[in-house]
Amino acid sequence: MNISPLCLWLSGACLLPSLVAQAETLTPLTVESTPHIQHQELPTQALEQALASEWGLKLEEWQRYRRLMQGPLGVYSPNLDPLTALGIEARDPQEQQRYAEQQVQAEFVRVQKLLTYQNAYNEAYQRLYPGQLPVNLIGTESTAQASPVISSARLTVFVTSDCKGCPERVRQLQQAAQGFDLYLVDSRGKDDRLRAWAKRAGIEPKKVLNRDITLNHDTGHWARLGDNGAFPAVMRQVNGQWQRQ
């Protein structure tokens, strides 16, 4: 079948308006997509600014913290808070002093809030379950985000249910009026199991209520701080390192 040049020309003429119309409808889509991408970036910057403000930092300081944690500092100490990280990597003594003061103020407020709530929890517990030892709601893990350069004079005692010498060692510490945080390594998160061990060791409820002694479930503390030695493990933090006492 032969198609004349005239027919071909007419077909092209008919198709041309259709193609032009399609191009006109597609072009605005491309132009409109750019503002949409820019609009998506705004919430991220606002979030970064909000996070910086929560720590009392400027946006530039927060961004520097993020960069530091992506480098060697973050590899060696992945859980550092912003103030500690920036303080360690301070560029001059004045900057280091400023971050140190900010951290002291922030941790003071944080600990006060935690203790206030723990006291309210203890009062409610004694009212609802009188005579039972309250398990430490906060736990010493609340200080896990604190600066690693801060040393603690308080003892941490790790025990297990089948440790024969553990109850006696705990009684000795209690009689010596030594405050400590007790962790039952194999408590499995069961409050009754932890209370039963404390009762067997003769821990006085009054000392628990006053927080001279705290009862804690072990949620990986021994794995992080322990030395794989025998129980009981009585440990103290000295210059950022945990040592047996």
Q: Is-contact 159 166, C-beta < 8 A? A: yes
Closest of 170, 166, 187 to residue 179, by C-alpha: 170
Q: How far is CA 207 from CA 177, 181, 214, 238, in A?
A: 9, 11, 8, 25
Tell me the average pLDDT across 112-118: 83
Digit-coded pLDDT (tens) for 68-90: 999 998 888 888 899 999 999 99
Tell me the average pLDDT across 27-43: 46
Strands of the chain (E only): list them: 155-159, 180-184, 213-217, 233-238, 241-244
Q: Return d(Cα 244, Cα 229) in angstroms, integer.
A: 10
Bridge partners (DSSP) listed for residue 158? 183, 233
* φ/ψ (deg, to 5) at 158: -105, 130
> Can you state the percent helix, strand and coil of the chain, rounding each to 5?
60, 10, 30
What sign results for the dihedral spanned by CA atoms 29, 30, 34, 35? negative
* 3-class secondary-structure state, position 45: helix
Q: In what order do the strands lie in the sheet with 213-217?
A: 213-217, 180-184, 155-159, 233-238, 241-244
What sign results for the dihedral spanned by CA atoms 49, 53, 59, 62? negative
Tokens of 81: 């808070």
Whether the predicted model's global pTM rises above the 0.85 cut? no
> In the structure, how many helices (H) and strands (E) does the chain have?
9, 5
pLDDT band at residue 222 using 50, 70 and 90 as cut-offs: confident
138 contact partners, CB below 8 Å, separation of at least 6: 114, 115, 117, 118
Digit-coded pLDDT (tens) for 164-211: 999 999 999 999 988 899 999 999 888 889 999 999 999 998 888 888
pLDDT band at residue 138 using 50, 70 and 90 as cut-offs: low
